[in-house]
Amino acid sequence: MPSFDELLPRIHVVSLPLVTRFRRVTEREAVLIDGPEGWSEWSPFLEYGDAEAAQWLHAALEYANDAELDLADSGSIPVNATVPAIAAAEVPALLERYGTVRAVKVKVAEPGQTLEDDVARVRAVREVLGDDVLVRVDANGGWSLEEAARALEQLGAFTLDYAEQPVASVEDLARLREQLDGRVAIAADESIRKASDPLRVTQLGAADRIIVKAQPLGGLRRATEIVREVGLPVTVSSALDTSVGLTMGAQLAARIARETGTEVSPAGLGTAALLRADVTRAPKRPVEGTISLAPVVPDRDLVEQHAASAERRAWWLARLERCLPLLP
């Protein structure tokens, strides 16, 4: 792994404006790394601690430096549209940004909103796209067990592909899954982070599917290993990455499909459509419901134009310096 001094000249900190508030932010900050094996991205959320951010860093450095990763150099993978916790009236215009898609993930259980807001948002998606698209909801662990049971009984009327992390703990996921008795499938996302997590999710029968993300799981190799250990169906996703990080996610989806002999479920990698600006002139916005696996080389002018402030750059460099010795 490279030292801080070796990395420094290869680091670009950017701040990209979003089209709508997401996870309570309106700008997405990311570190781009111009690595020997190609461009990579390190973008743990600002509130995450250093130990967690170091996992994300391991992924970024693997992608930037590992010549043996065996990346696909052509092709594409299917993606879902992601609908943030916006008002139902805003759903049609937002969905237009994605073009034709076969699957949609709708954020629910947003703090300060009600179940009625969630129902209205999911209904709006069905009204725009009809019965043929897969509709998923993602609560980010925001419901209690009782709230989740009530919400999914109601939202289940719209025929859900699955509900992602309806409750926070693995134990509650298992209880909820038993209560729902197959009426709505459960996907574990935040519950799959640490090395010991996958085993626990399967032991407790807490999920029908797992969500895997390249950065939080420490990279393409580790994430693929976890998928093998768990043995459940998989959806690859990411966390509102730039087009560089989205391509890393697309490579993970292709790798998992190749190594497990399964088909790629529409991935949560359509989120370039939620960025008002990106680091490349050819952003990885969904085209006919897919994004390509082709590597992204950021445009120097765009990287400069969207460079984070000196203060934010210093914040990220300090975080990088703290995280390097914590690499797993």
Catalytic residue numbers read 107, 213
| Cβ-based nearer residue to Mg ion, 138 or 172 | 138
Angle at 325 between CA 322 and CA 328, to 5 degrees: 115
| Binding to Mg ion in span 56-115, by CB under 5 A | none
CA atoms of 121 and 228, how far apart (whole Å) = 35
Q: Which stretch binds Mg ion (CB under 5 A): 66-74, 111-119, 158-166, 297-305?
A: 158-166
189 marked among binding-site residues:
yes
Rounded to the nearest whole angstrom, what is the least distance from the CB of residue 107 to Mg ion in the complex? 9
Q: Are the C-beta atoms of residues 269 and 253 closer than 8 Å to each other? A: yes
Rounded to the nearest whole angstrom, what is the least distance from the CB of residue 187 to Mg ion in the complex? 8
225 marked among binding-site residues:
no
Q: Are the C-beta atoms of residues 72 and 93 closer than 8 Å to each other? A: no
Rounded to the nearest whole angstrom, what is the least distance from the CB of residue 164 to Mg ion in the complex? 5
138 marked among binding-site residues:
yes
Q: Which residue is nearest to Mg ion (CB)?
A: 189
Under the binding rule (CB under 5 A), the answer on residue 241 touching Mg ion is no
CA 249 to chain centre: 8
Which of 41, 118, 164, 278 is in the footprint of Mg ion by CB under 5 A?
164
Which of 138, 161, 172, 241 is in the footprint of Mg ion by CB under 5 A?
138
Q: Beta partners for 287?
A: 290
User: Tokens representing 204?
Assistant: 């407790």
Which of 29, 161, 189, 197 is in the footprint of Mg ion by CB under 5 A?
189
- Number of shown-chain residues binding Mg ion (CB under 5 A): 3
Q: Where are the alpha helices (DSSP H) in 31-114?
A: 50-65, 91-96
Q: Are the C-beta atoms of residues 135 and 161 closer than 8 Å to each other? A: yes
CA atoms of 247 and 221, how far apart (whole Å) = 15
Q: How far is CA 60 from CA 44, 54, 141, 195, 239, in A?
A: 10, 10, 26, 18, 14
| Cβ-based nearer residue to Mg ion, 164 or 197 | 164
| Cβ-based nearer residue to Mg ion, 164 or 172 | 164
Interface contacts to Mg ion, rule CB under 5 A: 138, 164, 189
Binding site for Mg(2+), residues?
138, 164, 189
